[in-house]
Amino acid sequence: MSKKLSHDFKKMAALGEKITMLTAYDYPTAHILEKAGIDVILVGDSLGMVVLGYESTVPVTMEDMIHHTKAVRRGAPNTFIIADMPYLSYATQADALQNAKRLIQEAGADAVKLEGGDEYSSIVRFLTQAGVSVVGHIGLTPQTAAQLGGYKVQGQDIGSATKILRDAGILTEAGIMMLTLEAVPAELAKRITETISVPTIGIGAGVVCSGQVLVVHDLLGVYDRFVPSFVKQYENLEPRILEAVMRYCSEVKTSTFPAQEHSFKLHDDVKQKLF
Ligand code: KIV
């Protein structure tokens, strides 16, 4: 399977072929996603919550993102990878360029994603003019969820809906290759998808986006703290993993594991000399 490129996603959207995207943060998950034929892997800063156990994405650092993006690239050498720019890593043009360069050159990402609308259009323009592929993210932006009143659906009043519509257009003009729409009413996502010239990727944004993304831990049922209402859990692995670990503990305690077939044998001649 050869890696899709930025312009392939535009073609897919134009043809009405949905773009599939999931998060991954480690080698084995990335390997499985590539095997399954996923179009895009997102190394999301959601890793702060679902992998590192923080309360939010805010504590995630550039070093965390580099470390996990490298692992994902090793697991999925032929898949388009987007890496999130963590909180305050793109507050100035110089920081944004230096950090995007690290995620792409050092960690192997194909594109970077950053949260925010109009306020970040000059940063997006600066990055794209420098040759960086940038993915936008508007609606619910977890890095600034506290300012949005928590993890809530956005765009439900006229002011917020107008801003989201406007931001989508401004970011597109600034050069984004794709736009993530998180927790926005379906009608708003539909209007944006039909209006802008780049693919939209929905998460809690209805059915009319060009593609969909989910946090892989939510899809698999391995994150116990909070599952947003827009998530579909395709598996509930937590109880199955728990059961396997409990069986292992019990078998070790009762000397049922390891058994003969898990043991190595000493060669007879060595045994004779030794004992
Ligand atoms: O960090 C992340 O996983 C994301 C998705 C929820 C879109 O930004």
Same domain, 260 and 228: no
* Atom number, ligand 1, closest to the C-alpha of residue 215: 3
**Protein residues whose CB sits closer than 6 Å to any atom of ligand 1:** 23, 42, 44-46, 84, 137, 180, 182, 203, 213, 215
Q: Domain check: are 70 and 90 in the same one?
A: yes
In the reported structure, the alpha carbon of residue 149 is separated from the centroid of ligand 1 by a whole-number distance in angstroms of: 18
> Are 232 and 251 found together in one domain?
no
For tokens 């000399």, the residue is: 273
| Total number of domains constituting the chain | 2
Do 158 and 261 have their domain in common? no
Q: Are 251 and 224 in a shared domain?
A: no
Q: Are the C-beta atoms of 100 and 126 separated by less than 8 Å?
A: no
* Same structural domain, 146 and 263: no
Q: What is d(CA 110, CA 83) in angstroms, rounded to the nearest whole number?
A: 8
Between the alpha carbon of residue 16 and those of residues 81, 182, 208, 239, the distances in Å are: 22, 20, 10, 38
Please report the pLDDT score of residue 5 as a whole number. 85
pLDDT of residue 232: 94
10-residue block means of pLDDT along the chain (275 residues)?
84 97 98 98 97 96 98 98 98 98 98 98 98 98 89 94 98 98 98 98 97 97 87 95 98 97 95 92
Asked whether residue 218 falls in the same domain as residue 85, the answer is: yes
Residue 1 lies inside a defined structural domain of this protein: no
pTM surpassing 0.75?
yes
Same domain, 108 and 215: yes
Q: What integer pLDDT is reported at residue 149 of this predicted model? A: 82
In this predicted structure, what is the pLDDT of residue 225?
84
Residues 88, 182, single domain; the answer is: yes
Q: Residue 259: which domain range?
A: 239-274
Taking a C-beta distance cutoff of 8 angstroms, is the pair 231, 223 a contact? no
- Answer yes or no: is 70 within a domain: yes
Q: Which atom of ligand 1 is nearest to the CA of 46?
A: 1
Ligand 1 pocket: which of 25, 40, 42, 115 to mutate (most atoms within 8 A of CB): 42
Please tell me whether residues 89 and 222 are part of one structural domain: yes
In this predicted structure, what is the pLDDT of residue 1? 63
3-class SS string, 188-206: HHHHHHHHCCCCEEEECCC
Q: Is 182 a catalytic residue?
A: yes
Q: Which one is catalytic: 17, 55, 173, 182?
A: 182
Q: Which residues of 113-143 are buried (b: 16+ CB within 10 A; e: fewer)?
A: bbbbbeebbebbbbbeeeebbbbbbbbbbbb
